[in-house]
Structure 1
Amino acid sequence: MFWASYLLAALAVILAWPVPVMLSRARWPARAPKTALILWQAIALAGGLSMIGAMLTWGLEPLGDNLLAGLRGLAALLASYQPAPGLDLIHVFALSAALLLGVHLVFTLLLTYYRIAKQRHRHRTLLNLLSSPAKDSPKTLVINHPAPVAYCLPGGSGSVTVLSEGLMELLTPAELQSVLQHERAHLNQRHDLLLWAFAAWRAALPWLPTSQLAQRAVNELIEMLADDAALETTDRPTLIRAVALVAGGERPAGSAAGAPARELLSPEEAQALTSANRLRRLLTPMAPLGRAAQSLVLAGAALLLAVPTVLLLAPGLAG
């Protein structure tokens, strides 16, 4: 596993810096947001697997020629209480670092879920006190507030879309419907799970460029997917007007309704709303990425996951 550890370390470095930087600057993700999301997930998984795998294979190198053999050797070593030839302090340190990093990632993932669930429960309790169901949809809650607010609150079968009275006065029925379709797309496509995973990754490794770039890119891409869902039932000019009015918070002079300037409540949506890529995509439609190109990207994502797996499990890579 000598060479495997070096190859995994090199892959981890590549996925930690140059690859996410290039992908975050690319223009094609706006033409295929779903495909780009899959690639970002592959980069995150392969990067984490490579980081942990590099330390693990280095530490287990004296005990076997692949990960499974090394783990069996480690189990036998712990059971026999006998010293292993070649297993020095450096290898023990590498094994400890791999264990600590793995536990840290899993713990941060669970802690982030707990915090999000707690915040949602508190938020839902407040909504029960301060909102009322919309006349046409019990899954839509209306809060008495003049600011234009629209967001979704995931919760499985209890998921709801929240609108403010200010938003309902600000938008026309067609514009309001486009906003509803956008928010419901977040719920139907379970974008909250993606946000949870990438938020946990950034919390666990805030110093890693990949985690920061990935979280911003994923926030932007899920807004694009929700825009696409809204465009299935409404025309593009209506959606653009709705986005612009909610962002600006007021109608042009002469309109019947007005509200203070205010952005969407959700920080992720507020960030994505001002994204140049999202606005450019709405104002200047681009042709979808071709099937061949998308297939190539998906193949690359699969390869990213396959390479560290093979390096970890394939025998005969010990130098």
Structure 2
Amino acid sequence: MLVIGGLLAVLALLLAWPVPLALHRRRRTTSDPLAYLVLWQSIGLSGGLALIGAVIVYALAPLGGNLPAAVLALRDHRALIDGGTMPALRLILLVLGLLYLAHLCLMLAYSAFRAQQQRRRHRALLTVLTTPDADDPHTRILPTSAPVAYCLPSGGTPTTVLSTGLVSLLNEAERRAVVEHETAHLRLRHDVLMLPFLAWRKASPGFFAPKAALASVRELIEIMADDAARRRVPCEDLRSAIEKTAAGEDGGLRPDVRYRLQRLSAPLPQVSLRTRTTLIAAAVGLFLVPTVMVLGSGLYL
């Protein structure tokens, strides 16, 4: 089990920095953002499982040749007292590993709860501060000169919010493109896709992997919304709307916005079934590696 614990620690280290760094650098080279999103989810799950598994496997190594046997041995209280087969340091590591696992689960639940609360308060404010759009009952108009557009998910009727500044800045075709983009976020439930990465970032502040994952996933879901919108409206309208609304005070554009505009200037990329299958298979395999190593610790070594 010690060998397995060491391998899990190496895998956790790889998934904490070099692998996320390489994938983060390639986030603007993919024609299949969905497959990359699945790969990011696998990295997060596999990295957490490898880290927690390494600690738990090392802690339980004296109790059995594999993890199931070691867990069963914990029922023997003599393993937990002085003179038993489990030193105090390993017991402390076991507790820390389980606490970190509980911390991750609680942060995910807390993030979901907080998001739901914030949406409820936000919806109440929109009822007071905005007015329904004359042409679309699911769109509300916010009286501000800043060009603002966003979507508000809901278990009932989702809402798209546009500002008066944006409405006056864009023509009708561009406004429709913006609405289609925001509707794509709602339809594809990008808010749900973001939750695990937000929880991971909150649970592991200061680590590179969750920070890179969150930044990459945010870009990927914007690209996915662009691709969904351009299937319903002319690509030129969406590109023009982004150019008008995304410019900063100095007229410059962020690198991620420039990449989106560059992507919208070309035909919609054709997703290769072979590439998607390869990436998703890699994601599944990446998740299975630490899972098999943890559950089968010591069975093969």
Give me the TM-score of the superposition, normalised by structure 1: 0.86
Alpha-carbon shift at residue 78 of structure 1 (Å): 4.1
Cα shift readout 1:153-191 (whole Å, capped 9, x = no counterpart): 112213211111221222111111110010011111111
Q: Does structure 1 conserve the Cα–Cα contact (< 8 Å) formed by 2:57 and 2:297? A: no
Structure-2 residue corresponding to 1:227: 226
Cα shift readout 1:29-67 (whole Å, capped 9, x = no counterpart): 531100000000000000011111110111111222332
State the AA in 1 paired with 2:99. L
Determine which of 285, 289, 292 is the counterpart of 2:274.
292
Between 1:304-313 and 1:117-126, the stretch displaced more is 117-126
Cα shift readout 1:210-254 (whole Å, capped 9, x = no counterpart): 1010000000000000000110111211111011111238xxxxx
Partner Cα separation in structure 2 for residue 78 and residue 134 of structure 1: 67
Structure-2 residue corresponding to 1:254: none
Q: Does structure 2 conserve the Cα–Cα contact (< 8 Å) formed by 1:60 and 1:71? A: yes
The size of the alignment, in residue pairs, is: 300
Alignment of 1:212-291 (within 5 A): 212-248=211-247, 274-285=256-267, 287-291=269-273
Alignment of 1:1-319 (within 5 A): 1-26=1-26, 29-74=29-74, 76-78=75-77, 85-248=84-247, 274-285=256-267, 287-314=269-296, 316-317=298-299
Partner Cα separation in structure 2 for residue 159 and residue 58 of structure 1: 48
Distance 1:142 1:27, change over 3 A: closer
* SS of the residue 1:30 aligns to: coil
Cα shift readout 1:69-116 (whole Å, capped 9, x = no counterpart): 222221x12499766743112211220220121122122222222332
State the AA in 1 paired with 2:65. D
Between 1:175-184 and 1:307-316, the stretch displaced more is 307-316
Partner Cα separation in structure 2 for residue 114 and residue 131 of structure 1: 25
Alpha-carbon shift at residue 125 of structure 1 (Å): 1.3
Between 1:24-33 and 1:39-48, the stretch displaced more is 24-33
State the AA in 1 paired with 2:270. P
Structure 1 vs Structure 2: percent identity of aligned residues? 40
Q: Does structure 1 conserve the Cα–Cα contact (< 8 Å) formed by 2:78 and 2:84? A: no
Q: Does structure 1 conserve the Cα–Cα contact (< 8 Å) formed by 2:80 and 2:91? A: no
Distance 1:210 1:275, change over 3 A: farther
Alpha-carbon shift at residue 283 of structure 1 (Å): 2.9
Alpha-carbon shift at residue 282 of structure 1 (Å): 2.0
Structure-2 residue corresponding to 1:253: none
Q: Which consecutive residues of structure 1, in runs of 5 or more, have no partner in the other structure?
A: 250-260, 264-270
* SS of the residue 1:152 aligns to: strand
Pairwise CA RMSD of aligned residues? 2.5
Q: Which consecutive residues of structure 2, in runs of 5 or more, have no partner in the other structure?
A: none
Q: Does structure 1 conserve the Cα–Cα contact (< 8 Å) formed by 2:16 and 2:209? A: yes
Distance 1:199 1:272, change over 3 A: farther
Distance 1:262 1:158, change over 3 A: farther
Partner Cα separation in structure 2 for residue 122 and residue 262 of structure 1: 34
Alpha-carbon shift at residue 310 of structure 1 (Å): 0.5
* SS of the residue 1:157 aligns to: coil
Q: Does structure 2 conserve the Cα–Cα contact (< 8 Å) formed by 1:33 and 1:224? A: yes
Partner Cα separation in structure 2 for residue 201 and residue 109 of structure 1: 8
* SS of the residue 1:156 aligns to: coil
Q: Does structure 1 conserve the Cα–Cα contact (< 8 Å) formed by 2:28 and 2:259? A: no
Distance 1:171 1:160, change over 3 A: same
Q: Does structure 1 conserve the Cα–Cα contact (< 8 Å) formed by 2:79 and 2:85? A: no
Partner Cα separation in structure 2 for residue 64 and residue 318 of structure 1: 14
Alpha-carbon shift at residue 6 of structure 1 (Å): 0.9
Give me the TM-score of the superposition, normalised by structure 2: 0.91
Partner Cα separation in structure 2 for residue 20 and residue 315 of structure 1: 26
Partner Cα separation in structure 2 for residue 59 and residue 318 of structure 1: 19
Partner Cα separation in structure 2 for residue 189 and residue 117 of structure 1: 17
